[in-house]
Amino acid sequence: MAHQSDLIATDIQAYLKAQEEKSMLRFITCGSVDDGKSTLIGRLLWDSKLIFEDQLASLEADSKRVGTQGEEIDYALLLDGLQAEREQGITIDVAYRFFSTDKRKFIVADTPGHEQYTRNMVTGASTADVAVILIDARKGVLTQTKRHSYLVSLVGIRKVVVAINKMDLVDYAESVFDTIRDDYEQFAEQLGFEEITFIPISALKGDNIIDPGPHTHWYHGPMLMSYLETVKVDTGATNRPFRMPVQWVNRPNLDFRGFCGTIASGSIAPGDEVVVPSSGQTSRVKSIVTMDGELEEAIAGQAVTLTLEDEIDVSRGDLLSAAGDRPDFADQFEARLVWMHEEPLLPGRSYLLKTGAQTIPVQVSGLKYKVNVNTLEHQAGKTLQLNEIGICNFSLGNPVAFDPYRENRATGNFILIDRMTNATVGAGMIDFALRRATNIHWQAVEVDKKSRSMMKDQKPCVLWFTGLSGAGKSTIANLVEKKMRSLGKHTYLLDGDNVRHGLNRDLGFTDADRVENIRRVGEAAKLFVDAGIIVLVSFISPFRSERDMAREMVEAGEFYEVYVNTPLEVCEQRDPKGLYKKARAGELKNFTGIDSTYEEPESPEIVVNAAEASAEELAEQIVQQVLKEDSSLNFTDGTER
């Protein structure tokens, strides 16, 4: 909503131009439950005459029906729009409001205070310039206050207003204000804020919101609205080095090739030199094209099309950058990760990382520690649950250009996407490239997989046996290997139990450990294939995502998923190791098929059922199918067909 102005009726063009020229401030309100965030914003709108008549009528009616202030206006209802919010008197989702005054335009995000809505708050704060942190004058600095302050600093907000609310309930005592200010300043020393402004307010009564309160004569600082109208907005995006993610390559004809995108930071002009970090190629900007014609200069936030003087290779997802100030370019980095999904983070699992216009396969290669958002303590952990925050190492499928988040929020952020469901599961802020990412390189070798395979007169591959415990995987795999050996094949069998005596002896049976178990075995299988070996892998491997990860480690046609589809009841009747009995008795936790999920293969190359045929028959069936489908190499003489 816009501030009421006489120009609306007298000169609408002048009014629109004035609105266009106003600066924009994005800010959030956060604080503990019932600290008055929604009430504060409602009061700002009310006192600024920014409520339409129909909204006023609705607000008065809702205040009487579901309000918390008796016969008085409940300003929080202007923000808490969800039925559940009104019924419980709390904020659940992020509520955005636009308004303007004579001096500035605003977008305010009212964020929830409950810990279980941490992801909502991070979302609301991610684009804000200023945070207004409310503290109940009766309660002082609480655990939630510290949590919200940490999250504010995490997303890069450096200017904070600490609004000490409900001063009317402590008789506007200056001593209360001073105590809270001192406590907060001591705590905030470790958060790196550039500017902290303390304001005593009563959101309900309106003290020090727009006008000075009659009871706080001892306070000589700014009113909340005047602070918001005059605080300097960070214009660093324009002053930072030029960065533009390429969203589209525009080639309408043979005479035009332009690179379209929104400038993330910096400025650009014809003649400026730019670089493509992925290739190191450089060129100069020939022209800046828009729908309204060519520009002499473009700055951060503008959507433009750049043409270059040279025909260099630029694709969607590339980051055009200032040649004299290049971003980092690496396939490993450390980042702070906010986990935003009910299913936990599983290090080693393959996710998709989206940054700018790029989407890249990625693994969390290590969870260094979790941050307790209430105490800021570092805690050990193997996974992240919903709303938890961790410091993680990431390993990408291919290098990506980025800046550290603290230097450039636009090019230092990313989201994680689940590859199976396409759900956004996490949001991250990059700290720095890992040094090992630039210190190691592929060593060229002259003896390759092809020569090793020819020497063994076979085509290497992975036979990945998966199924429930007791399905017959190991028995069948052992027989397959014997048959392969009798045919003169060079093989090796990686069995789940055997590998846990050595390579994976440090892993348990949690979901996170199961993922790491399969990742390591997949890497080992990849090495065997490179050596020209036919490797048989017999693992329960309960998750599709990890079986797909193992498949992607080798080349197309080198992976056979063998699903030993033996029914659970048959496996449980067999129970060769007594594990089902222990699991049913509650003595064995995280047992696949009982209290841990097994995800059946969707399109395996081979399916067998050990309840319908003998292990010998199934092994022969698998050998014949693998040899039949391998039409690229004659196993008897080693010649190509």
Residues belonging to the active site = 541
Q: Which amino acid, one-letter code, is at 176?
A: V
Q: How far apart are CA 630 and CA 484, in angstroms?
A: 14
Q: What distance lies between CA 627 and its chain's CA centroid?
A: 44
**Separation of alpha carbons 284 and 638, rounded Å:** 54
Residue type, 27: F
**DSSP summary character for residue 167:** G
Rg (C-alpha) for the chain, rounded Å, is 31
Say if CB 548 and CB 361 are below 8 A apart. Answer: no
Residue in 43, 79, 33 with CA at minimum distance from that of residue 207? 43
At 415, which amino acid appears? I
> How far is 78 from 64, CA to CA, in rounded Å?
14
Q: Which two tokens stand for residue 29?
A: 């309100």
Helix orientation angle between 449-456 and 511-530, rounded to the nearest 10 degrees: 70
Token digits of residue 118: 């941490």
Q: Is 96 helix (H, G, I), strand (E, B) or coil?
A: strand
Q: Are 156 and 409 in contact (CB under 8 A)?
A: yes
- Given the DSSP bridges, would you call strands 281-290 and 328-339 parallel, antiparallel or unpaired? unpaired
Q: What tokens does 153 get?
A: 């600093």
| 418, containing H or E segment | none
For 454, counting Cβ atoms within 10 Å of its Cβ (0-12 exposed, 13-18 middle, 19+ buried), the class is middle
Distances 540 to 35, 93, 216, 444, 515 between C-alpha atoms, Å = 51, 41, 69, 36, 11
